Structure 1
Amino acid sequence: MPIITVLAGLLAVQVPEPPAAGLVWEAPRGCPGREELLAAVERRLGRAFAGEVEVEARVSLYPEAPRYRLTLRIATRGRGATRTLTSQRCAALVDATALLVATAARREAGVAAAAGVESPPPRPPADAAGEVEIGEAAELSPETEPGPEPTPAPQGPGAPEAAMEIEMAGPLSGEPVSSETPLQAPGRPRRRLGGALRVQGGPEYGALPGVSGAVMLAGGLLWRRARLELRGTFLSPRTKALQPEGELRAFAGMGAALGCGRLGPRRVEIPLCGGLEVGGVRGIAQGVVGARSTTGLWLAVVASAGVAVAVHPRVRVGAALEGVAGILVPGFELRDPGPPVPLFASSRISGRLLFAVELRFRDPR
């Protein structure tokens, strides 16, 4: 009988859950572990994490930048907020998670103190009884000094909810809140300016006799919603037969300055561009007595619309339809004793269908 009583007493004993059991951390191989996260939280708190808030943090790995995506939920008393953070480095997500958890725990402790409720007892230091001891080797970044303790919120209805706003994460309300924020690695400023180098080409009609080929090389600066570029263009030689004999051979070279708006989502961009193009068209008459080569001035307004699809974080392929309205266009004629004989004149309206491959550097989008 005494043995049965003892066994019943042992079964009735409940082992208290450690305060940090409410901190869930799931991450792929290569990321810091739960112990490193807990150590980072406690460095910011300046004490042991006592489980003031419940934390669910799960990191997913993606093949394209940003490679790591964190889904983080911080809750207390059944109310919580969900936030998504992205970064190229998993350690940066650990640092951000520690900051949010420490801020929420500090404020929850302040709310409990203001309401006259005793906060959960602090967790004892790690020892050989089963607690994991975190060493200095687990530190991920320089230690951050704990900020000042929060000012206790006023008592009364709604006071705890008002004090439960999480810094950088929005208020904890009854409805879950979700947002997505790109997270840069610690100490690195957000990139505001990028660059691009593009090669493009395709058929052109109007500037030279018949259909010619256009080859272009462009380089420029990238902002989040705009682009500024300089471009060089070469139009391949075309030949026009002359009567009664001979021929005119023409080719062109131009330079252009263009400004573009970057519309559409990140992966499928729709650039709308406009600018000014200046250059010359070279005409060479062959088989005509007394003819000589000459270069005519070219000045035109350029407008285009296209699409650029990301096939790699730094590489895009695309196509564009470009219209050209000539301001000054050259004409070629044969002047002999007698009235001048027109040979060829560039059209004031011409068009180009262009296919492009573009390399981008530090694209701010």
Structure 2
Amino acid sequence: MLTVLAAVGLWSLGPPILPPEPEPEPEPSEVLHLEIRGEGAGACPVGADLPARLGVLLPTLEVEVTPEPRGGGPGPVATIDVAAPPDPGASWEVDLVLTSPLGEHDRRLEAESCPVVVDALALLIAVAFDPVSAANQIDAARRAKPEPEPEPEPKPELEPGPERGPEPELEPDRSLETEPVARPRVTAEDLPPWRSSSADARGRGDDAALRAGLGALAGGGYGPLASGSAALVPRFALFGEGWRWELRGAWLPPLVRDVGDDRRLRFDGWWLGTRGCWVPTPGPVELPLCAGVEAGSIRGEALAPVLNARSGSQPWVALELGPGLSWSPRPRLAVGVEASVPVPLAQAGFALDGEPVLRYAPAGVRVLAGIELRLP
């Protein structure tokens, strides 16, 4: 009973005082590894100035300058390639490859001076890690900077006049007091121009670089003989902006043709060719217009019931001209269709028992469709 009364008495004096809860330990900050390279790194101290600028925009981010490439590893990495301007009036060019919690970023910067390059790099990296915190730091720095006071207007000098008695005290001139000037907010247009190395590859002239292609086509048409035929065509191509050159070959699968009086002739063939193309590009498609030359051989063989049947071959040399249509759904893949008109430079054919039964067509028609793998 005494214990209960004592407890009640102590509680009447006030609730027990509990020890304060321990404060949570701050989470460890991320460490950004900077890799600085390029022939302009010595002229522009990016490695020395960039960590200080990042410390102002994003205090929670630790920055470590890595003199050599890390070759992978944990933590975010920013690789900066600095190119000094070739002429005194030219711009600095900087390539930035950044791996941050928001993903991988690939940017190219152009600026008129080294300090502008450092400020732009610091702003891009800070926004990539924590855009909200970076915006708050910029706004806080803008408010903390004192407004410059305007210089007072010069007062006109007074000419000396006659001596007078003591003049009354004048009130202070308040005409010089001005309202605080609101500074404009920093927008994306105020930053130095930058371009993405992947999205603006066309602007840097990458489309004009030499590329190669490996393709396979199949189709058929009329010719080389005055009959229908099929063709399988592998090809190798080199191409650039507005032009294309191809080296191709073809195999004509065997076909059997009835030449009358229960006589039949089986023929096949091959040819190699090269051609050049002018390639206009209206939008996402290519419209090559090509001309070339091809040479090979057509082989014919008589079938039973012809007696003493023999096989023979005739040379094939022709010029060909035709348009095409190609579409590239991916940078390394293209699909297309083409049509051409081969014209033989020499007439030839096949005969049975001294009687001509099948000759070359004066002109043929060939339609092919296929795919192409483009490198690089």
Give the alignment's TM-score, normalised by structure 1: 0.50
In structure 2, what is the equivalent of residue 159 of structure 1?
Answer: none
Equivalent residues in 2 for 1:1-365 (5 A)? 43=46, 96-97=108-109, 99-100=110-111, 102=113, 105=116, 181-182=200-201, 192-265=209-282, 267-286=284-303, 287-335=305-353, 340-362=354-376
TM-superposed deviation, 1:329: 3.7
Q: Is the 8 A contact 1:104 1:167 kept in 2?
A: no
The percent of aligned pairs where both chains have the same amino acid is 25
| Helix, strand or coil at the partner of 2:308 | coil
Q: Is the 8 A contact 1:261 1:273 kept in 2?
A: yes
Q: Which amino acid aligns with 1:341?
A: E
TM-superposed deviation, 1:276: 0.4
| Helix, strand or coil at the partner of 2:241 | coil
What RMSD in Å do the two structures reach over aligned CA positions?
4.5
Which structure would you say has the larger RCO, counting Cα contacts within 8 Å and 6 or more residues apart?
Answer: 1
TM-superposed deviation, 1:167: 9.6
In structure 1, what is the equivalent of residue 37 of structure 2?
Answer: none
Q: Which amino acid aligns with 1:349?
A: A
Q: 1:319 to 1:183 in 2, by over 3 A?
A: closer
CA offsets per residue over residues 285-309 of structure 1, 9 Å max, x none? 1222233110001000011211111
| Helix, strand or coil at the partner of 1:247 | strand
Q: 1:276 to 1:344 in 2, by over 3 A?
A: same
C-alpha distance in structure 2 between counterparts of 1:309 and 1:131, whole Å: 44
Q: Which amino acid aligns with 1:360?
A: R
> Which protein has the larger Cα radius of gyration, Structure 1 or Structure 2?
2
TM-superposed deviation, 1:227: 1.7
Number of equivalences? 223
Q: Is the 8 A contact 1:248 1:283 kept in 2?
A: yes
C-alpha distance in structure 1 between counterparts of 2:218 and 2:46, whole Å: 58
TM-superposed deviation, 1:344: 0.3
Q: Is the 8 A contact 1:208 1:238 kept in 2?
A: no
In structure 1, what is the equivalent of residue 179 of structure 2?
Answer: none
Q: Which amino acid aligns with 2:111?
A: L
In structure 2, what is the equivalent of residue 78 of structure 1?
Answer: none
C-alpha distance in structure 1 between counterparts of 2:291 and 2:301, whole Å: 31
Give the alignment's TM-score, normalised by structure 2: 0.49
C-alpha distance in structure 2 between counterparts of 1:296 and 1:271, whole Å: 31
C-alpha distance in structure 1 between counterparts of 2:358 and 2:224, whole Å: 10
C-alpha distance in structure 2 between counterparts of 1:213 and 1:349, whole Å: 16
TM-superposed deviation, 1:204: 1.4
Q: Is the 8 A contact 1:303 1:324 kept in 2?
A: yes
TM-superposed deviation, 1:46: 5.8
Q: 1:303 to 1:103 in 2, by over 3 A?
A: farther
Greater than 3 Å deviation, 4+ residue runs: 44-49, 87-95, 101-106, 166-169
Q: 1:251 to 1:361 in 2, by over 3 A?
A: same
TM-superposed deviation, 1:105: 4.2
CA offsets per residue over residues 223-260 of structure 1, 9 Å max, x none? 22222221111122222223323211111211111112
CA offsets per residue over residues 163-191 of structure 1, 9 Å max, x none? xxx9988xxxxxxxxxx942899xxx998
CA offsets per residue over residues 28-85 of structure 1, 9 Å max, x none? xxxxxx998xxx9972896877xxxxxxxxxxxxxxxxxxxxxxxxxxxxxxxxxxx9
Q: Is the 8 A contact 2:343 2:363 kept in 1?
A: yes
TM-superposed deviation, 1:194: 1.4
| Helix, strand or coil at the partner of 2:225 | coil
C-alpha distance in structure 2 between counterparts of 1:219 and 1:279, whole Å: 18
Q: 1:90 to 1:353 in 2, by over 3 A?
A: farther
Q: 1:351 to 1:101 in 2, by over 3 A?
A: same
